[in-house]
Structure 1
Amino acid sequence: MPPSIHFHHAESAQALALDLAGFVAQQLRESLARRGQALLVVSGGSTPLPFFKALSGMALDWSRVCVTLADERWLPPDHADSNERLVREGLLQGLAAQAPFLPLFNGAASPEAAQATVSQALDGLPWPADVVVLGMGGDGHTASLFPHAPELADALAEGEGPRCLPVATPAAPNVPVPRLSLTRRALLDTRHLVIHVTGASKLALIKQAMQDGPVEPWPIRLALLQSQVPCEVFHAA
């Protein structure tokens, strides 16, 4: 096991949500004390909703915590499959309603048309992020970086490339719409990298993906097979 990976196990998804919310809130508090601001990058999907609700009630100065997404489906924010909608309804409530939020969907006709504007907006956030919270699909994708996708090589490139890239419509069972995804540059530009998963099959996939090998078959290796930043795996059965 790479020394930079730490596992946090909980007996239920709800207990895990509370553990993860406490961890993230502590990192945000430390950043607020140290530099007067903080940056949190979160992911969509169904898994993070209990975590969002737990985190939204954490006591900290949310007005100085910037929030953005690791990826977005190119859908309006009132669509059921919009990650922005999930964040607004799940996280940006109660105390956390004060947090400045940078959505990735900006109403442009396509992710390609939006990339330059969104990249510029992302550059204006207070990097490095304090926490980037990633999910993982059953195919090993993370953010909207899918196995063997044509844009994957550009998204994984090291150096000062763009912080986001357009992603073509992925194969089923993923939601069949194009996306905008943060790249390696942005996802690893953080003090703490978190992988948040539930279920035995995903834990088994993570352990398999921790073995040396190329990133292309399992893009979650972007987080697991790197020594740039500590990686915390939060898992519940």
Structure 2
Amino acid sequence: MQLHQYADTQALNNDFSARLINLLQEAITQRGHAYLVVSGGRTPTALFNALSESELAWQNVTVLLADERFVPPDSPDSNERLVKANLLKAKAAKATFISLYASAATAEQAIAEVLPRIAPLPAFDAVILGMGEDGHTASLFPCSAELSKGLAADAPAVLAVNPTTAPHQRISLSLPRLLNTRHLFIHLVGQSKLEVLNKAQAGTDVTSMPVRAVMQQPDVDVAVMYAAN
């Protein structure tokens, strides 16, 4: 794992967006299409806006989320809504988006419709993850009964998650699906997140801090993109 520290979020976003565009362009050149996995929340919105203005053959890019709250896409709590408002606009409006939401009574029931969208996808070109104060990443929460299923080597591509310390049911990509990528990033802003990262590095129990399963696996290099403010 490599930690890349920046003077501020603007410097981080300028460099990070340039790196991502280069990776996506390389994928398009080599394979004709690029696959980008992003995360929701406040941290990536400025990055999304920078990406949306970048020159790229966006019609050859597919974007999807690492996880989603089980709410309709027009909900203020929807990650899909956030991505469409901040990333899939301007030059990036031509990108294809794959939703993790399906209308159903429960997230478990929605999986039957969502799984066929995700399972056939090839290796991703870049995955951008966040990290919670409790050490969760995507919607792999330490408090959820589904954690062991989501971390298992034979986990399905997506699963329903019922966190007890966060609102809403979730639909999350599993650990093996997230790790099936050429490049993996953890995007962090704030001193408190660096403290959580250091705590995660200092231990090995993935059930107490699931982000360790991403940080400490041997198969994909992890780049932590960090700014204190």
Note whether the superposition's TM-score is higher than 0.5. Answer: yes
SS at match of 1:80: coil
Partners of 2:76 and 2:15 in 1: CA distance = 27
SS at match of 1:7: strand
**What does residue 8 of structure 1 align with?**
4
**What does residue 96 of structure 2 align with?**
100
User: Is 1:144 the equivalent of 2:139?
Assistant: yes
Matching residue within 181, 186, 194 for 2:177 = 186
Cα pair 2:40 2:83 within 8 Å, conserved: yes
Aligned length: 228
Partners of 1:170 and 1:197 in 2: CA distance = 23
**What does residue 44 of structure 1 align with?**
40
Which deviations, in whole Å up to 9, do the C-alpha atoms of 1:118-169 show, x marking residues without a partner?
11110233x210001000111111111111421000000013x310110114
**What does residue 191 of structure 2 align with?**
200
**What does residue 207 of structure 2 align with?**
216
- Unaligned 5+ segments in structure 1 are none
**What does residue 166 of structure 1 align with?**
160
Which deviations, in whole Å up to 9, do the C-alpha atoms of 1:22-50 show, x marking residues without a partner?
11111101101110101000000110100
Cα pair 2:159 2:174 within 8 Å, conserved: yes
Partners of 1:208 and 1:17 in 2: CA distance = 25
Deviation at 1:212, TM superposition (A): 4.0
Q: 1:26 to 1:170 in 2, by over 3 A?
A: farther
Write the letter of the residue equivalent to 1:189.
Answer: N
Runs of at least 4 residues off by over 6 Å: none
Cα pair 1:170 1:178 within 8 Å, conserved: no
TM-score normalised by length of structure 2: 0.96
**What does residue 152 of structure 2 align with?**
157
Partners of 1:93 and 1:182 in 2: CA distance = 24
Which deviations, in whole Å up to 9, do the C-alpha atoms of 1:95-119 show, x marking residues without a partner?
1000000010122222101112211
**What does residue 18 of structure 1 align with?**
14
TM-score normalised by length of structure 1: 0.93
Partners of 1:76 and 1:46 in 2: CA distance = 19
Deviation at 1:183, TM superposition (A): 0.3
User: Is 1:226 the equivalent of 2:222?
Assistant: no
Work out the percentage of aligned pairs sharing the same amino acid.
45
Cα pair 2:68 2:101 within 8 Å, conserved: yes
Query: Over aligned residues, Cα RMSD in angstroms?
Result: 1.1
Bigger shift: residues 51-60 or 211-220: 211-220
Partners of 2:203 and 2:42 in 1: CA distance = 29
SS at match of 2:183: strand
1:78-117 counterparts in 2 under 5 A? 78-117=74-113
Bigger shift: residues 207-216 or 58-67: 207-216
Partners of 2:143 and 2:209 in 1: CA distance = 8
Write the letter of the residue equivalent to 1:44.
Answer: G
